[in-house]
Amino acid sequence: MKVLDNYRELMYASEPRAVALGNFDGIHLGHQALLHTMVRESGLQRLIPTVYTFKNHPGTVLVDRPNQVFPSKITPISLKIRIMEKMGVEMLFLDKFTKELMQMPPDIFARTILVDLLNAKLVVVGEDFRFGAKAKGDINMLKDLSVAHDFRLIVVPPVFDGNSKISSTQIRREIEKGNMEKVTRLLGRPFMMYNKVERGYGRGRTLGYPTANLILEEQQMVPAEGVYATCVRIDAKLYFGATSVGANPTFSAKKTTVETFIIDCDLMLYEREIELYFHKKIRDQITFQQVESLKKQIQQDVQVIKAYLQTKKTMIV
């Protein structure tokens, strides 16, 4: 998949495209329905399947919100790229959201971005898609613009979980609660974190349960504090894992960490990249008065996790 992030790279690419528009954080089942539609229709019309999204949060350019905390990312850009490529997307354009874009009227956005820049012959969006200055552009306006600029428009309906529309906001709430089984259902796969392993304090090894401490990306979504049943991919091999998320209260630590004891694996993983798939929260964090009590609890956790994961079909990205 080709990943572009500046207009100059597109100036010489005149191929007609099918373009999906959106933020796509999480690439949940609703996003997947939209992307599958775009990829399928692009094949039927011989168009290049393309995604247009922003690499920065739109709120970062709002001068009246200098100290605002923006939503954590369910999927960092690197993971979006992996998932979209697997789905058949051939080009991803990561635009930078600027004041100029923020102030651009909807009709100018359609003409300059969709038509002139992307050469869109098909545009695919969700029902709640908004665009242009002050989000004045809606589906009805986009329908009118598609007629004026001669591109086809497909509006994909939302996907529901029971009576609730699946959304990135809903999924963030469930991750924050530690409801990982529900998160898996909404995403269509387990929530995943991946990065390099950093050196920790070595407490786990002293206890007989060495852990891989994951480096946390800026704005990376982290599940609620607790102990989780996880699967760990190292290179091409999968292992079961017992993952602790939190500040390690028994040792009076304050920094939130993501530490995984990889079951039946004693590889040296410092500076190596691992993938961590969260399946279920099995308990909250507990402060133990004695280290021996902690060791016994970890032993119980490992047995519970092995029994649980042996019944699950592991889905990986």
In a domain, 215, yes or no: yes
The answer to whether 82 and 199 are in contact (CB under 8 A) is no
In a domain, 49, yes or no: yes
Instruction: Clarify whether residues 214 and 143 are in a common domain.
Output: no
Which carries the bigger pLDDT value, residue 32 or residue 15?
Answer: 32
pLDDT digit string, tens, across residues 247-258 = 765 555 557 899
**Is residue 49 over pLDDT 80?**
yes
**Is residue 11 over pLDDT 90?**
no
Tell me the pTM: 0.91
**Is residue 52 over pLDDT 70?**
yes
Domain that holds residue 133: 2-161
Q: Is the dihedral of CA 224, 227, 233, 234 positive or negative?
A: positive
pLDDT digit string, tens, across residues 224-249 = 999 999 999 999 899 999 999 997 65
pLDDT of residue 249: 59
In a domain, 254, yes or no: yes
Which residues, at least 6 apart from 300, have a Cβ–Cβ distance to it below 8 Å? none
pLDDT digit string, tens, across residues 117-173 = 999 999 999 999 999 988 899 999 999 999 999 999 999 999 999 999 999 999 999
Q: Return mean pLDDT, the chain.
A: 90
Instruction: Clarify whether residues 79 and 29 are in a common domain.
Output: yes
Tokens 């739109």 belong to which residue? 58
Q: How many domains does one find in the chain?
A: 2
Instruction: Clarify whether residues 80 and 229 are in a common domain.
Output: no
In a domain, 186, yes or no: no
Instruction: Clarify whether residues 210 and 79 are in a common domain.
Output: no
Distance CA 278, CA 192 (A): 6
CATH number at residue 254: 2.40.30.30
pLDDT category at 201 given cuts 50, 70, 90 is: low
From residue 212, how far is each of 103, 194, 288 by CA, in Å?
46, 12, 21
pLDDT digit string, tens, across residues 271-314 = 899 999 999 999 999 888 888 888 899 999 999 999 999 987 66
In a domain, 32, yes or no: yes
Residue 169: in which H helix or E strand, if any?
helix 168-177
CATH number at residue 43: 3.40.50.620
Please, is 10 exposed, middle or buried when counting C-beta atoms within 10 Å of its C-beta (0-12, 13-18, 19+)?
A: middle
Instruction: Clarify whether residues 32 and 127 are in a common domain.
Output: yes
Instruction: Clarify whether residues 154 and 203 are in a common domain.
Output: no
- Render the burial of 278-295: b for 16+ CB within 10 Å, e for the rest: bbbbbeeeeeeeeeeebe
pLDDT category at 72 given cuts 50, 70, 90 is: confident
Which carries the bigger pLDDT value, residue 30 or residue 62?
Answer: 30
In a domain, 120, yes or no: yes
pLDDT digit string, tens, across residues 166-197 = 999 999 999 999 999 999 999 999 999 999 99
